[in-house]
Amino acid sequence: MKEPITLGDVLSARKTISGHVIHTPLRPSASLTDRIGSPVWLKCEQHQYTGSFKLRGAANAVLKLSPEQKQKGVVGVSTGNYGRALAYAARNAGVRAVICMSELVPKNKVDGIRAQGAEICISGTSQDEAQKEVDRLVAEQGMTMLPPFDHADIIAGQGTLGLEVLEQLPEANTLLVPLSGGGLLAGVALTAKSINPAIRVVGISMERGCAMITSLQEGKPTAVKELPTLADSLGGGIGENNQYTFDMCADLADDFVLVNEAQIADGIRAAYHDDQQVIEGSGAVGIAALRAGLIDNPGTTVVLTTGCNIDMSLHKRIIGGEDVDLMAE
Domain ranges across the chain:
7-53+151-328, 55-145
CA distances from 326 to 32, 37, 210, 234, 323 (A): 27, 33, 16, 15, 10
Question: What is the pLDDT at residue 53?
Answer: 98
pLDDT of residue 149: 96
Predicted confidence at residue 325, as pLDDT, reads: 86
CA 167 from chain center: how many Å?
21
CA 179 from centre of chain: 7
Give the strands of the sheet with 301-305, arranged side by side: 26-28, 40-44, 301-305, 174-178, 200-206, 255-259
SS3 category, 69: helix
Equal CATH topology for 7-53+151-328 and 55-145: yes
Residue 326 has a pLDDT of 87
Fold topology of 7-53+151-328: Rossmann fold (3.40.50)
296, burial (CB in 10 Å: exposed 0-12, middle 13-18, buried 19+):
exposed
| 173 CB-side CA count, 13 A | 10
Whether domain 55-145 has CATH 3.40.50.1100: the reply is: yes
Q: Which of 182, 186, 180, 196 is nearest to 229 (CA)?
A: 180
Q: Of the candidates 163, 194, 158, 189, which has an alpha carbon nearest to the alpha carbon of residue 176?
A: 189
pLDDT attached to residue 248:
98
- DSSP code for 40: E
Q: How many CB atoms neighbour CB 219 within 10 A?
A: 9
Distance CA 240, CA 14 (A): 30
DSSP E strands in 7-140: the ranges are 26-28, 40-44, 74-77, 97-101, 119-122
Which distant-in-sequence residues (6+ apart) come within 8 Å of 82 by Cβ?
54, 57, 58, 76, 148, 149
**What DSSP string runs through 180-219?**
SSSHHHHHHHHHHHHH-TT-EEEEEEESS--HHHHHHHHT
Q: Which of helix, strand or coil describes residue 305?
A: strand
pLDDT per residue as tens, the chain (329 positions): 578 999 999 999 999 999 999 999 999 999 999 999 999 999 999 999 999 999 999 999 999 999 999 999 999 998 789 999 999 999 999 999 999 998 888 888 899 999 999 999 998 888 778 889 999 999 999 999 999 999 999 999 999 999 999 999 999 999 999 999 999 999 999 999 999 999 999 999 999 999 999 999 999 999 999 899 999 999 888 999 999 999 999 999 999 999 999 999 999 999 999 999 999 999 999 999 999 999 999 999 999 999 999 999 999 999 999 999 888 77
Tell me, yes or no, if the pTM score tops 0.85: yes
Q: What is the pLDDT of residue 1?
A: 54
